[in-house]
Structure 1
Amino acid sequence: MTVISSLSNTNPNLLSAGTLTSAGSVSTTDNLANAAAQPTPSAVVTLGNVSGSVQTYSAQGTLAFAQQTITTWKTDSKDAVSLLMAHNDQASSLSQRLKGLGAAVLNAFKTGSGNYSQSVTRASAAGMALSSSNGVRADTELRIKTASGVLVKITLASQDSGLAVDIQSDGKLSDQERTAIAGLADGFQDALDGLAKVPPSLNLAGMAGYDNHILASVDLQTAVRQGQQQPTSVALHLDNKIRALNVSNEQGKLQLNVNTGNSLIQGSAAQRAASINSFLQQVDAAAAGGHGDATLVSMFKDAFVQLNNDTASAGTSYTQPLNARDHAMLTGLADFQASITDTPRPVNPMRPAEVDSFNWSASQSTSIGGKTALDRTITQTQQARLTASYHRPLTGTRLDLTSDRKSQNYYYDQIDDVAQSKANITYQDGKLTSATLDQSASQTTHETKFVQGKQEEDKTMPVQQSQTLNLLGLLAQNDTTSTEESAQSDAANAPNLVKAHGLILLHTSPNDLRAASH
């Protein structure tokens, strides 16, 4: 049987998961707006009883597409997720294919918690898969474990020939749990939208803000491919003690672990902002000095800010409160480990052992000892290291190294920079008896000069600076242990506390460290 109907008379609700066309429309607000802006075919012809087998004819009676497309759905459904999949599946860019889909999947938990599976694929009449995505692909898995122990697994795939969504839960969810999962909808969509960009970006703040009273952990794994490039792979783990991120792509990889299990070392919003700003400046300086990949550095900086947001609410492994003088000697940030590693690149065909490389790492660790608040010690150590190598021209800005010796005019620089800041404070019988700061920074550059392939210079240039500061006087303390009087003392010393906090921040440049000590 052949059914021909005018599109002008077609009920948009009939264009459901069972009957779709590349030029058709789905009854959604966005799609109706798009359809109004495009030329409308004069008729849709459905051949036989094959669900989804549609050909579109122009007003002149010619085929709008040279090849018949058969669209196959796993289930015949008109739910919100299926309708959005039908709309997005027509798009070629990854950002449009994933637009709103992650949020729609999680928002579905507001009204139900059952398992769900849907997919749409396209093939020619000959059975060959068809692609409208221009080689862009994304495979995403979101695992959510509730505090009661229920595991929910959500997979979302955008492939060359279609879209797929699957939800599996190994137990019944309470209303609170469904609400908490749905609360991740915007954060999940933000993460997908960022990764679908070219170049990709990280937008994880919404994910990190999950309800950690109802949900025990959240894990996101995704691999995004844009064209022929190596996929960008992201693995994010969130729980009450750890926020861990690993990213890898063609340019390299980055890693960040934030320990949220010690909330007492978290400082005020102003302290955290000052420490984050100082840290980002360190990252920029390392990237500039070592020629780090701009995309990886940008992704890392975004992740560092986002995963250090509101970490104080996560939990604590200590019971002793810290006062304002303690916090002045600490960065105010959660402890962390971080690294950025660029993929080494051999850029000189005559000397393949000379590679352009960038390896940067940083960390902060804090320990609190003592049996009581009156007798305790606090130590916080910040460290950073950069090792890098790169080629640069002798003159000008252009470097074109080939197998021709005449092109072999360049400097080859190898960098090894190390910095550390260690703060120590000690209390005896409630009195601050020691507050010291040990800092050091060293930069070593090994420079080799080549002229027409011949080595003409080879020199090493070390620069270093270290200092030990006694901050006890700066943190002048009232003898009393009274809570009220102690608070007044803290307020009176606020300018000194701000100054002390500025001093304890890590300086990776010997020159900057020298200037900070004066």
Structure 2
Amino acid sequence: MTAISSVVSVVQLSIVTRPVANEPLAGAASVSTTASPSTVVSLGQGTSALDAQTYSARGVLSGAEVAPAWEYTRQDKVSLSMMGNFNTSATAGRFQGLGAALLGQLAESGKGISQSVIRSSSGHALEPAELTAAQTRLHSNADNSISLSIRTASGKTIELTLSSQDDGLAVQAQVSGGDLSDDELNALGRMADGFQSAIDGVTARPPQLKLDALTQFDASVFSSIDLKTRVKLDSNNTQTLELHADADQRSVRMSGAAGELQMSVDLKNAAVIGDSDQQAKALKGYIGQIEAARKRGDGDQQLLSMFEDAFTTLHSHYPGTRASSAPQTVNSIELTDTDHAMLSGLGDFSASVSEKSQEGNPARPGELDTFAYTLSQTTQSKGRDPLNRTLVQDQQAHLSASYHKALYAGQKLDLQRDPKTQNYLYYQINDQSSSKASIGYDKGALVNASVTQSASQSTRVSTYVMGVLQSEKLTPVTESKTRNFLSVLQQALQQDNEAKQGRGTSLLKYTLEGVQEKAMLQSEPGQLRG
């Protein structure tokens, strides 16, 4: 018979005594409350040929990488999302799906949420005091942060934050002022995807403004929305964004490596807002002018694209429109279709975008590459008597830019101190345009309906060869025009009255559409002709 050898294994078991508050999250590090060595218990006889692995008092293998430390050891949707994202380094990856998960979990439970995960960079597990301090810093002062503040119509406040830096990721959700109602919880859940879309936009490279869903909140449930973001681009640049929306106004402010933009829309005077068709035409016209300004001033395409997105977002889906049941008024006076024909159809606003100036030519530091563009609209009413009043709307635009171009088409521009590279054109642009529409009534009769428009363009081109100025050409173009629509509107109104009495056909609708088109702001002098 073949002899069977008995093999005796030696097992070493390390036991660490520590308090346990929750079941540990899979893959999470446990935080010990003692720094004493662990107890080693041997089972069996003899000694093993292999050295036993002994754990430290904080549950870490000697010589092994320190596992991340979690604020709370629980397996919910937010924690699982954080676990999946934590191994990525890009901010977009860290926040991927996390905003929707946070808002969705809050909408389901109605309870506050706080979670963080931190990786030690020192090679050893953080002591409890160190960990608490690190968690506090991560929640309040991280390199990258997203915060959303929502005020409910009932007076409660909802605060959500997402924070990230190289060694940590954290989220918080808090509710103050009372428990959220079912309607408020449901409205939060509907906002989750829009919140995530905004996060995905600001963390993308290059960044995008995807704020539509946040400005279209349910006004019957929420009274205001505030979004604030800070994203570290590199050691020298940080990108920030602020969005505010309520029943009275909307505003966006963004600053980054390329430049900054800011915009606000006044919604208190909702009476000046036109119907959806008029709004769409006005938006198309303004976006066309922004694009024309970008090309003429050689503006940064990405920055101006975000400016266009912000302009469209803030002027879309107004909370109060002419379609609402309550009459919209200016100084308690309800506007007519004839009044609206003289207006742009958009709410009053101010908007500006500017690039960070650059020294485009090392041989001539005073020649800066710049771009700045502003737009605005204001509407005023004089008189509270519906029969005796005047309505005036003023639209303004201004472009200031300077930039370098190669001397010849197709030539690469590479300006250095060497005179051989100093062959170029230097452009300086200064454009201004305005449109002032006025409509007035005396004893109920239309007595004034006019639009005065002006547009000026100034182009200065300096030509350099081998660094020597060869020529300088200044081309100013100015044009202004006043259009009087009184007679055409009076005739259209009379025809409309006769048509209502069964005599003739009304052309009022088409007349008003034609007036609207001609009353819009025009930036180029040639557009004023005709």
Global fold match (TM > 0.5): yes
Normalising by structure 2, report the TM-score: 0.81
Match of 2:190 among 183, 186, 190: 183
Cα pair distance change 1:267/1:219, threshold 3 Å: same
Q: What is residue 135 of structure 2 aligned with on the other side?
A: none
Q: Distance in 2 between matches of 1:179 and 1:193?
A: 23
Q: Offset of 1:148 from its aligned partner?
A: 3.0
Question: Separation in 2 of the partners of 1:212 and 1:347?
Answer: 48
**Aligned match for 2:313, one of 306, 310, 333:** 306
Would you say 1:199 and 2:206 are equivalent positions?
yes
Cα deviations across residues 346-378 of structure 1 (Å, max 9, x unaligned)? 011111011000010010111123223332221
Q: Alpha carbons of 1:2 and 1:76: their partners in 2 closer, same or farther (altered >3 Å)?
A: farther
Write the distance in 2 (CA, Å) between the matches of 1:320 and 1:502.
Answer: 24
For residues 308-344 of structure 1, the C-alpha deviation after alignment (integer angstroms, 9 at most, x for no partner) is 1111528967332222211111111111100110000
Aligned to 2:79: 82
Residue pairs, 1:336-351, within 5 angstroms: 336-351=349-364
Matched residues, percent identical?
Answer: 35
Query: CA offset at residue 220 of structure 1?
Result: 0.8
Task: Give, in angstroms, the shift of residue 489 of structure 1.
Answer: 10
| CA–CA separation in structure 2 for the residues paired with 1:394 and 1:372 | 62
Q: Is the 8 A contact 1:18 1:73 kept in 2?
A: no
Q: Which shifted more, 469-478 or 501-510?
A: 469-478
- Structural mapping, 1:3-402, within 5 Å: 17-20=25-28, 50=58, 68-123=65-120, 126-127=123-124, 138-175=144-181, 176-228=183-235, 230-313=237-320, 318=330, 319-396=332-409, 397-402=411-416
Amino acid at match of 2:387: L
Structure 1 residue 273, shift from structure 2 partner: 0.8
Please, which runs of 5 or more residues in structure 1 have no aligned partner?
A: 4-13, 22-44, 56-65, 130-135
Gaps of 5+ in 2: 1-11, 15-21, 30-52, 127-141
Aligned residue in 1 for 2:32 = none
Given the superposition, is the C-alpha separation of residues 377 and 90 from structure 1 closer, same or farther in structure 2, using an over 3 Å criterion? Answer: same
Query: What SS does the corresponding residue of 1:279 show, helix, strand or coil?
Result: helix
AA of the residue aligned to 2:147: E
Equivalent residue, structure 2, for 1:429: 443
The 1:489–1:325 alpha-carbon spacing in structure 2 relative to 1, beyond 3 Å, is farther
Contact 2:414-2:421 within 8 A present in 1 as well: yes
Q: Is the CA contact (8 Å cut-off) linking 2:85 and 2:93 kept in structure 1?
A: yes
Change (3 A) 1:204 1:233: same
Give, in whole Å, the separation in 2 of the partners of 1:96 and 1:491: 60
Q: Kindly provide the CA deviation profile for residues 182-224 of structure 1, in whole angstroms up to 9, marking residues without a partner as x.
A: 3321211110011121100000000001122322221111011
Q: Against the structure 1 CA distance between its residues 494 and 478, is the aligned structure 2 distance closer, same or farther, given a 3 Å change threshold?
A: closer
Q: Is the 8 A contact 1:264 1:312 kept in 2?
A: no
The residue type paired with residue 381 of structure 1 is: D
Asked whether the equivalents of residues 68 and 124 of structure 1 are also in contact (C-alpha less than 8 Å), the reply is no
Q: RMSD of the alignment, in Å?
A: 3.0
Q: Name which one, 1 or 2, has greater alpha-carbon Rg.
A: 2
Shift in Å, 1:481: 11
1:169 Cα offset (Å): 2.7
Which whole-Å CA distance do the structure 2 matches of 1:432 and 1:246 have between them? Answer: 41
Distance 1:335 1:186 in 2: 30
**Cα 1:83–1:471, aligned 2, differ >3 Å: closer, same or farther?**
same
Task: Give the alignment partner of residue 505 of structure 1, picking from 506, 511, 520.
Answer: 520
Name which of structure 1's ranges 193-202 and 221-230 shifts more when overlaid on structure 2: 221-230
How far is the alpha carbon of 1:124 from its aligned partner? 5.4
Contact 1:349 1:401 in 2 (8 A): yes
**Residue 449 of structure 1 is aligned with which of 453, 463, 488?**
463
Counterpart secondary structure, 1:123: coil
Deviations 1:271-310, CA, capped at 9 Å, x for gaps: 1111101101100111111111111101111111111111
SS of the equivalent of 1:377 reads strand
Contact 2:496/2:507 (CA < 8 Å) preserved in 1? Answer: no
Please say which of residues 404-413 and 281-290 is displaced more in the overlay.
Answer: 404-413
Q: CA 1:159–1:490 in structure 2 vs 1: closer, same or farther (change >3 Å)?
A: farther
SS at match of 1:111: helix
Where does residue 466 of structure 1 map in the other structure? 480
